[in-house]
Amino acid sequence: MTLFDWLAAQEYPAEDSNLLSDRTVFVKKGGARLLKAGGQWLFDNEIDRITGPGEGQDERAAGESCPEAGDIVQVKDFDGYHLGIGFYNPRSKIRIRMLSRYEKSSITPAFLRRRLQEAWNYRKAVTDTSSCRLVFGEADFLPGLTIDKFEDILVVESLALGTDRLKLLILKELVEILAADGITVRGIFERSDAKVRELEGLPRTKGFIGPEFDPLVPITENGIRYIVDVKEGQKTGFFLDQKENRAAVARLVRRLSSGEVRVLDCFTHTGSFGLNAAAAGASSVLSVDASEPAIEQARENAVRNALQDRVRYQAADVFELLPQLEKAGERYDLVILDPPAFTKSRSATKNAVKGYREINLRGMRLVKNGGFLATCSCSHFMTEDLFAKTLQEAARGARRRLRQVEFRTQGPDHPILWGDDESYYLKFYIFQVIEEL
C-alpha cells in the first residue's frame, strides 16, 4: 500500500465540519501583552474566565464550561474585544496557542488546507524545495508543528496537543497539495520525541506514519550529497536552517582558494560546513564533533562526494581540543563554529554566554592574521544583541579585532515572523580576524 492510499484510508472530520468549540476564554485586564504585540501564545496567568454555553466563570472553577485539552476556543480581551482563535491546553503554561486572528474564521479541514497551501506557496517562492522545511510552527500559523521535506520523505515533529490531535489530517492535506505539483511523498517519519512534549501532557513518540521505508534518505544540498538518517539523526535528521549559510562559507572559500586554504570545522555533526568548504576548494579541512556516530556519518558523506582526501575527521570535545591545537601552533585560514544551543531556557543564559565567549575566544586565536571566522548561535534566548556583545568580549580576550563580512539568520524556509520572538533563533556571522599588533 502506498502512503497516499494509507492516508486516504484513515478517518477524518467531515470536510465542512467546524472544529471550533463553543467556549470563549477572556483575558485579564492588562494581560496578553505579548499576544497583542504579535506573539502567538497566551499564558496561564493571563486568563480571567471562561464561558461555556452559559455564564462565565473563573478558569479553575469553570467545571463543565472549561474546554477539553486540545479544544479550539475563541479568545477575547477583558472587555469582549476579539483577539483570536487558538488551541487550549489546561496542562501547559502556554494555555492557548493561536491559530487565527480573524473573528469569523471557521476552523475546518479546508481552513487547514489553506494554511498548508500558503506555506507551500511561500517555500516555492523563496527557496530550493528539493529539501526544505515545509512547516515552521507558529511562523506558519500551525502552532507546535514542524514538517521537513527530504526529497520524497517527510519528517514531522508535533509538540503541541491541539495540533497533535489534527496531525493525520494535516499530513493528508499536505501530501495532496504536494501531489498536485507532481511531488509524490514516499513516506513519513515522526520525530515527536522531544522532552518538551511532556509539558503539553503528551508522550514522547517516534516511528513511521504509514508504510515503512529505508530511513537513510539521500539528499543533495548546494551540490553536496548527503545521507540523512531520519530515524536516528539529531532533531529531524539534518539541519536545513543553515543551507544558505553553508553556501556563504563556500563562496568565501572559493575566493580564497588561489592558495592553500586550511579550514577547521567545529561541531561538524554530519560534516556539512566542512564538505561545503572542501568542495569550494579548501586544500585541507579538519572536521570535529563529540559524537562518534555523527563523525562516521560525516566520513560516509565525504566519500559520497569524493572529498575524503581533503577532509579529516576527529571525534573530540571541541572545548578540550581547541586549546590543544593552539598550544601546538596550529593556525587556519577559516575557523567554523556551529555549536548546539548552549541554553534552552532564559534562566541558563548566563552560563551559555560563558560557553559562547570561551569557544569563540579559542576559535579566534586559531585564525591566521587576516583569516576568517564563521560563528553562530542557534539559541532563541541568545539574542542578536547579546550574541554580538559576547563576540566582542571574546575578541578583546583574544586580543583580536573583528571586521564583519556578513550577518545572516536562518534560511527563509524557517521564516521569522515579526512580533513572534520565538521564531527568530539563528544568528550567523562571518568575520575577518585581525591581530592587534
- Give the global pTM: 0.93
Q: How confident is the model at residue 240 (pLDDT cuts 50, 70, 90)?
A: very high
The CATH number of whichever domain residue 133 belongs to comes to 3.30.750.80
The mean per-residue pLDDT over the stretch 424-429 comes to 97
In the chain, DSSP finds a helix count (H) and a strand count (E) of: 11, 21
| Whether residue 91 sits in one domain with residue 180 | no
Residue 250 within a domain: yes
Residue 288 within a domain: yes
Q: How far is CA 100 from CA 80, 139, 253, 384, in A?
A: 17, 12, 45, 29
In this prediction, residue 66 carries a pLDDT of 78
Q: Residue 56 above 70 pLDDT?
A: no
pLDDT in tens, 134-158: 999 999 999 999 999 999 999 999 9
Neighbouring CB atoms inside 10 A of 157's CB total 20
In this prediction, residue 437 carries a pLDDT of 65
Q: Residue 55 above 70 pLDDT?
A: no
In this prediction, residue 15 carries a pLDDT of 87
**Whole-angstrom Cα Rg for the chain:** 24
| Whether residue 46 sits in one domain with residue 115 | no
Catalytic residue check, 132: no
Q: Give the residue from 76, 100, 124 where a domain finishes.
A: 100
Q: Which cell numbers in the block locate residue 46?
A: 493571563
The active-site residue out of 66, 132, 376, 378 is: 378
Domain of residue 81, residue span: 20-100
Residue 209 within a domain: yes
In this prediction, residue 349 carries a pLDDT of 84
| Whether residue 428 sits in one domain with residue 285 | yes
The CATH number of whichever domain residue 52 belongs to comes to 2.30.130.10
Residues 6+ positions from 363 with CB-CB distance below 8 Å = 264, 266, 322, 335, 337, 373, 375
pLDDT in tens, 243-272: 999 999 999 999 997 778 999 999 999 999
| Whether residue 361 sits in one domain with residue 272 | yes
Q: Which cell numbers in the block locate residue 202?
A: 503528551
Q: Which residues pair with 334 in a beta bridge?
A: 263, 372
Residue 221 within a domain: no
Residue 170 within a domain: yes
**In which residue are the cell numbers 467531515 written?**
14
| Whether residue 8 sits in one domain with residue 90 | no
Q: Which cell numbers in the block locate residue 396?
A: 578583546
Q: How many domains does the chain have?
A: 3
pLDDT in tens, 331-373: 999 999 999 888 777 777 888 899 999 999 999 999 999 999 9
| Whether residue 247 sits in one domain with residue 300 | yes
Report the C-alpha gap between 198 and 92 in whole angstroms: 9
Report the C-alpha gap between 292 and 314 in whole angstroms: 9
Residue 171 within a domain: yes
| Whether residue 263 sits in one domain with residue 114 | no
Q: Give the residue from 100, 129, 155 where a domain finishes.
A: 100
To the nearest whole percent, how much of the chain has pLDDT over 90? 88
Report the C-alpha gap between 173 and 278 in whole angstroms: 40
Q: Give the residue from 74, 100, 126 where a domain finishes.
A: 100
| Whether residue 381 sits in one domain with residue 337 | yes
In this prediction, residue 112 carries a pLDDT of 96
Residue 220 within a domain: no
Residue 297 within a domain: yes
| Whether residue 9 sits in one domain with residue 128 | yes
Look over the chain and give the mean of its residue pLDDT values, rounded to a whole number: 93
The mean per-residue pLDDT over the stretch 399-412 comes to 98
| Whether residue 133 sits in one domain with residue 31 | no
Residues 6+ positions from 205 with CB-CB distance below 8 Å = 190, 192, 193, 197
| Whether residue 296 sits in one domain with residue 341 | yes
In this prediction, residue 54 carries a pLDDT of 46
Q: How far is CA 56 from CA 45, 48, 71, 366, in A?
A: 17, 10, 17, 64
The CATH number of whichever domain residue 284 belongs to comes to 3.40.50.150
In this prediction, residue 343 carries a pLDDT of 73
Q: What is the DSSP string of 289-305?
A: ES-HHHHHHHHHHHHHT
| Whether residue 210 sits in one domain with residue 173 | yes
In this prediction, residue 215 carries a pLDDT of 97
The mean per-residue pLDDT over the stretch 21-44 comes to 94
Q: Helix or strand or coil: residue 367?
A: strand
